[in-house]
């Protein structure tokens, strides 16, 4: 049996990430790798960085996150990660406590909007202060 690496940019999750990437472009991290890691991060927040390290492999085989993020973009990315919906287990608990799929989806949407808006504000302040 032979194992070989395929190009991650041809995967199904990368296609979803590429589709969602324009939503995050105003935040500075509109790459499909960053978007894909956020999508995978819904399972657990720890997955975000491990997914990024797999998808952002440079020519030497080591993760090259500097090609995806400037310091301001990385900070904006972290702010978004801290505020966007928690893991699936927490969402399941919220769903059980609220006893409503609709309320859970509304809460999840609210958290996404708040995370996006706060990250956008942080990026704009950073740009105004010259941290591009």
Tens of pLDDT, residue by residue over 68-114, are 899 999 999 999 999 999 899 999 999 999 999 999 999 999 999 99
Within a domain: 22? yes
Q: Domain limits at 82?
A: 8-128
Residues ≥6 apart with Cβ < 8 Å to 89: 44
For the stretch 14-71, pLDDT in tens is: 899 999 999 999 999 989 999 999 999 999 999 998 888 888 876 566 778 888 899 9
Within a domain: 1? no
110 vs 94: CA distance, rounded Å: 14
Within a domain: 50? yes
The reported pLDDT for the residue numbered 109 is 95
Within a domain: 124? yes
Within a domain: 84? yes
128 vs 114: CA distance, rounded Å: 21
Within a domain: 93? yes
Within a domain: 98? yes
- Domain total in the chain: 1
């Amino acid at each position: 049996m032979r194992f070989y690496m395929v190009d991650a940019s041809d995967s199904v999750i990368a296609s979803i990430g590429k589709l969602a990437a324009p939503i995050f472009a105003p935040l500075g991290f509109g790459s499909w790798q960053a978007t894909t890691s956020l999508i995978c991060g819904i399972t657990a927040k720890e997955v975000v960085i491990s997914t990024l390290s797999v998808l952002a492999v440079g020519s030497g085989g080591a993760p090259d996150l500097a090609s995806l993020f400037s310091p301001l973009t990385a900070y904006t990315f972290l702010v978004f990660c801290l505020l966007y919906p928690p893991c699936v287990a927490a969402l399941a608990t919220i769903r059980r406590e609220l006893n409503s799929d609709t309320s859970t989806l509304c809460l999840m949407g609210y958290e996404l909007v708040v995370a996006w808006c706060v990250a956008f504000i942080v990026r704009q302040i950073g740009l105004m202060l010259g941290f591009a």
